[in-house]
Amino acid sequence: MKGDTLSGKKVILGVSGGIAAYKACLIVRNLVKRGAEVRVIMTPSALEFITPLTLSTLSGNEVIVNIFPETQKNGVNLKTWHIEYATWADLMIIAPATINTIAKISNGFADNALTTVASALRCPLLIAPAADMDMYNNPVNRENLRKLKELLGATIVSGEEGFLASGLSGMGRMADPEKIIDMAELCLSGFKQDLLGRKILVTAGPTFEDIDPVRFIGNRSSGKMGFQIAKAAYLRGAEVTLISGPSSEKAYPEIKLIKVRSASQMKLAVEENLISNDTLIMSAAVADYRPHNVSVKKIKKEDSLSSISLVKTDDILSCLDKVGKTIVGFALETDEELKNAQDKLKRKNLDMIVLNSLNDKNAGFEFDTNKITVIKNTGERKDYPLHSKFITANNILTELNKL
Ligand code: CTP
């Protein structure tokens, strides 16, 4: 995609020796697909799981394994390649990072190509640990991860719960490659894990208002914006609950996902969950009207239906008890955009409103990009240019975190 944060970025991928090394192929493939330049360094034990040929073919670059590569032997072409690598990179990802590699880097060892480059880095470091559950939860490993965060400012993409190669099931599986790339994008865009301790409730998607068991009244919202907000908030450290109307978007397993269909179900879910959250971001395109009566049987052609009687749905934002909560609304407009958004901000008693106009090219429903204006209840206003919905989500979170 044009303007992709990853495009043109220089990324070192360090691969250490665990079964999750096979997933490194997907990381390289996706980084390259998105325009990043990738150089891979493997530890000697990573060679037991995957070949350098695979990773050099996918990255289009030589893979370094030996701390003293061939070109440097016998004093020929003797370069300080590790410094060249460390100063070249915009980001280093270590995925999988075994407990051995984590222990070495957190204690200052530089005994192979990967740990040597890691010790000389100037750019952000992203660590995706992978180990069997008892190894992962070992207090020494936990302490080493803490040291990596504290001493090196490393970002850790935590392991996931699930089926492990040992046959056990528990914590320690390497994070999904897609999540690692999302986190890489976050690091490269300069967003920090600044939402730790926050509890954020997000709504997404359309609502469907049933006419009969077959038909409904809906709208064209895909849910993309809300799902990207939930994802970005989670990656930045928040505990996230996502209430979604019908949408085909996927959320990380760590995000509590509540699926609803109609405006009244969404209202109930928001009311129930707002109590345990500090922030609500209401990005759902909630139906304003629903059929007065829902037919229990399919309405037949012979019934000669000529009109459907509608009644207003409750306005969720207007009905809520907002005391002590940060509330963010959305306004999707086609005309008099700024005025309508400012009116909604006041009328619905919001802290902030995110305006997007259907008149902006590549913005709004169904697109992967969006162009927004953020308006705060202080009158402060900020226009953002067209960005991916992920970057747009992060810009919204940065603004709300300043409230
Ligand atoms: N919203 C809501 N409950 C509704 C309708 C909308 O909470 N029944 C929320 C939306 O999630 C959004 C904000 O109100 O955050 C503005 O929604 P929008 O559809 O733009 O505005 P409406 O109030 O529905 O007004 P209109 O459709 O006339 O523009």
User: Of 249, 230, 232, which Cα lies nearest the Cα of 241?
Assistant: 230
Compute, in angstroms, the gap from residue 262 CA to the centroid of ligand 1. 14
Report pLDDT digits (tens) over 44-91: 999 999 999 999 999 999 999 998 866 555 544 556 888 999 999 999
Report pLDDT digits (tens) over 247-275: 999 999 999 999 999 999 999 999 999 99
Q: Which residues are catalytic?
A: 219
Residue to substitute in 288, 320, 335, 374 for testing ligand 1 pocket (most ligand atoms within 8 angstroms of CB): 288
206 lines ligand 1 (CB under 6 A): no
pLDDT at 70: 66
Domains of the chain and CATH, by start? 10-70+82-189 (3.40.50.1950), 199-292+307-401 (3.40.50.10300)
pLDDT at 71: 58
Provide the whole-model pTM: 0.94
pLDDT > 70? residue 183: yes
Report pLDDT digits (tens) over 137-154: 999 999 999 999 999 999
Q: Please tell me which residue, 178 or 163, carries the higher pLDDT value.
A: 178
CB atoms within 10 A of CB 111: 11
330 lines ligand 1 (CB under 6 A): yes
Compute, in angstroms, the gap from residue 354 CA to the centroid of ligand 1. 12
CB atoms within 10 A of CB 2: 8
172 lines ligand 1 (CB under 6 A): no
User: Of 24, 5, 29, 19, which Cα lies nearest the Cα of 95?
Assistant: 24
User: Of 23, 24, 16, which Cα lies nearest the Cα of 47?
Assistant: 16
